[in-house]
Structure formats: structure tokens, C-alpha cells
Amino acid sequence: MIQRIVIIFSVMLIFADATSAQSFRQRNGQKTSSSQTQNRSLELRVLVDQRSPIGTSHDWMQALAEVGADRVVASNSRATKPSFEEFGTGAKKTLAVVGIVKSGKLHLPGGKFTIRQTTAIRNHLQKLRDDGAEVTLADKVAFGLTAKQLISVHDQLGVKIGSSTKGQNTGEIANSLLRQSGYTLSIDRATRTVISNSQSKLDVELEGFTLGTGIALALRKMGLVFEPIRPQGKDIQLLIRSADEKVKNWPVGWPIVESLKKAAPKLYVKVDIRAEETPLMDLLNAIEGRMEFPFFYDHAKISANEIDLKETKVSFVRPGKKSSYDTVIDKVLNQCKPKLKAELRIDEVGKRFLWITTRR
């Protein structure tokens, strides 16, 4: 299960727009505070290769005197692998770090350092003290989170929205959903003002969809995005910020992992559709009424490209031929300038919707 969701995250972070449980408790096992981690005892044991030059132990002991360890000891050894052990719990934990000095470098769990890199060694040991080996040494798969943390966020944002949203103030809905997420927010004053001053209304019904997709969509309409972050030694938070094309964020929905025809068979039903100089929004609304899932629009990007879906006229005429709804949607969205596209996506628990946005 973890591998499947991690793969989905990897795929989505490549292709998604930079515009992805029934309890709100933290589940990542990292609920600590800075004051707790500062009080943890850390012992650094340095094992020096017996083939090292005379004086190596002395030189390293001097260099490591100010790296923040509570105790530093050195001895000669042929050991070849650094290690990290934790004893106790919470603020009473004792951390035992074993480093190996060989070929002029100190090999610690998760890093190698020269004798001049005392600041980097101090920072690395502090990270081990704050986050423990499970987080510090684990591969980070997205947003700087481990696979386990990523699954935790995905599950926590997979709670379904239980009340109606259509026609309500976008900022108010965003605030409500963020509160329901149970996460602490990292948000600056300017961004908070954007949300509180929002005058737009949500034109879609998010009830029954998940918090993750709902939050992403509501924020997106105000030109904002969010991503999960975990400051060193702290719990996971949600960072709310302005959309930035160069920085990845939690997407509005995830890619379909099964075939599109299996996921949305009605999209591929062939019908005789004729439209001449028809408002795009009218045509899309008519098609949506025949589907089993709603259409969601990337209003921020569409508006930024000065596309008015109600005023833009499109045509689709194929005399004597039937076309699938999928083909019709693709052809009429291509008539916009710039072109639009439609992607079938799912929320955090697999509920489908069609996401309409710009091609770039």
C-alpha cells in the first residue's frame, strides 16, 4: 500500500500543476517539541581506524569538542559501519551515535564529514537528536517527508467533507476545511489576508470529497496552494502560500491508476453531438449532466489567461458521425486560446472528477 501511494505521489509531482482516515490525531510517531529534544542526551563514540596516522584520535577529539554532543569518546577499532541507537522515550531518550574515522573523514549515520566541517557535524547531530534515526536516515519521497509520513498525511487528508460548499464564500470554506484537517498552519499575514478578504463563491459541491482535494481546490481559486512540511524536531504542518509554478504543492486530485475507459466508461460513449457557436460553458454543463462525476475548473489559471468560459464560443460538427464525449471535450477545449485540457482525477479516497485547466 505504501509503495502504491508513493508511486502515485511521484507520478503526480512530475505531471501535476504547480498551481498529493477517520481520526484527526497525528499518526507519524514524531510528536515531539524542541524543548524535549534539546534535553535528550547524545553520546558520540568515535572509532578510529587502526591504520590511521598517529595523532588522528587526538585531532578528532579536539575538533568534536564543540559539536553539541553531551559526551564524546574515541577508541581504535576496525569497525567499518557507523550506527545509531535510541534508548528510552520522549525527553528521557538517550541517543548513542557511533562514527567511524577512516580515509580522513568521519562517517556518521547519514553523512560523511571532514575534520574542518564541525558546523555541519553539529547540525547533523542536532537533526539526529531532534528527529531520530527513523526520519533523519529515511529516504524522503516528496515534500521532504518519508514514505511513512507521506502516507500519514494522505490518510489524514482523506477524511470526507460532511457539509455543502456550493455557493459559499471560498475563503470561509478554505478556513473551515483547514481547521478540520487537524494540522497546525504555517501562513504569513499577507496570505491570511487573501483568504479573509476573499469575495468569490465556490461554484462546485465538495461535500463527499476529501479534505485534501477540497482544500487544494478552494485555495487554488484564490491563487493559493498548500504543501505539508515538517520543520526539524516538530510535527507536520500545512504551509499555505501563493501559487508558484516552480515549486510543487499538494495537487487538486490524483492521477487515475486504472484505465480511463474502466474508470469513466460514460466518457467514451459515442453520441451524435452538434454544436455551432455555442458558449463553451453551456456545452460542458450539458455533457457534465450525462456523467457520473462533476467537472471542476482551475479558475485561477483559466482567468489568468483571460479565458471566459461563458463567453467563449465553440463548434463541433461531424455530419453522419458519432463521437465520444471524451473526444468532444478535447476538441472544444482545444479551440480556446490558449488551449485548455481535461484530466480525469480522483481525490484521496478514489472519488472521480474531471479537472479542466490550461495546457501550460
Round to whole Å and give the CA distance between 21 and 158: 6
pLDDT band at 54 (very low <50, low <70, confident <90, very high): confident
Residue 29 covered by a domain:
no
pLDDT band at 246 (very low <50, low <70, confident <90, very high): confident
Q: What is the dihedral of CA 171, 174, 175, 181, to 10 degrees?
A: 180
Q: Are residues 276 and 339 in the same domain?
A: yes
List, in order, residues 6 or more apart from 316 with CB less than 8 Å away.
Answer: 273, 274, 275, 283, 323, 328, 331, 332
Q: Is the pLDDT of residue 132 over 80?
A: yes
Round to whole Å and give the CA distance between 194 and 183: 20
Residue 144 covered by a domain:
no
Task: Report which residue type is found at 191.
Answer: T
Residue 285 covered by a domain:
yes
Round to whole Å and give the CA distance between 338 and 67: 56
Residue 141 covered by a domain:
no
- Domain end among 223, 251, 279: 251
Q: Are residues 245 and 266 in the same domain?
A: no
Q: What is the CATH number of the domain that holds 221?
A: 3.55.50
- Domain end among 226, 251, 276: 251
Ranges 6-10, 101-105, 123-127, 169-173, most confident: 169-173
Residue 117 covered by a domain:
yes
Residue 53 covered by a domain:
yes
Q: Are residues 244 and 167 in the same domain?
A: yes
Q: Are residues 38 and 132 in the same domain?
A: yes
Q: Are residues 202 and 240 in the same domain?
A: yes
Q: Are residues 49 and 120 in the same domain?
A: yes
Q: Are residues 38 and 184 in the same domain?
A: no
Q: 258: which 3 cell numbers?
A: 486504472
Q: 246: domain range? A: 2-21+158-251
Q: Are residues 80 and 229 in the same domain?
A: no
Other Cβ atoms less than 10 A from the Cβ of 28: the count is 19
List, in order, residues 6 or more apart from 37 with CB less than 8 Å away.
Answer: 91, 129, 130, 233
Round to whole Å and give the CA distance between 222 and 144: 25
Burial class (CB in 10 A: 0-12, 13-18, 19+), 215: buried
Round to whole Å and give the CA distance between 182 and 302: 31
Residue 152 covered by a domain:
no
Best CA proximity match to 8, nearest among 158, 166, 133, 217: 158
List the helix and strand counts (H, then E) for the chain. 12, 19
pLDDT band at 226 (very low <50, low <70, confident <90, very high): very high
- Domain end among 194, 225, 251: 251
DSSP H or E segment with residue 176: helix 170-181
Q: Are residues 132 and 38 in the same domain?
A: yes
341-353 tens-digit pLDDT: 999 999 999 999 9
Round to whole Å and give the CA distance between 141 and 10: 8
Q: Are residues 244 and 272 in the same domain?
A: no
Q: Are residues 224 and 78 in the same domain?
A: no
Q: List C-alpha distances in Å: 332 to 38, 325, 345, 356.
A: 60, 11, 20, 12
Q: Are residues 232 and 303 in the same domain?
A: no
Residue 146 covered by a domain:
no
Q: How many distinct structural domains can be found in the chain?
A: 3
pLDDT band at 230 (very low <50, low <70, confident <90, very high): very high
Round to whole Å and give the CA distance between 216 and 240: 10
Q: 175: which 3 cell numbers?
A: 478556513
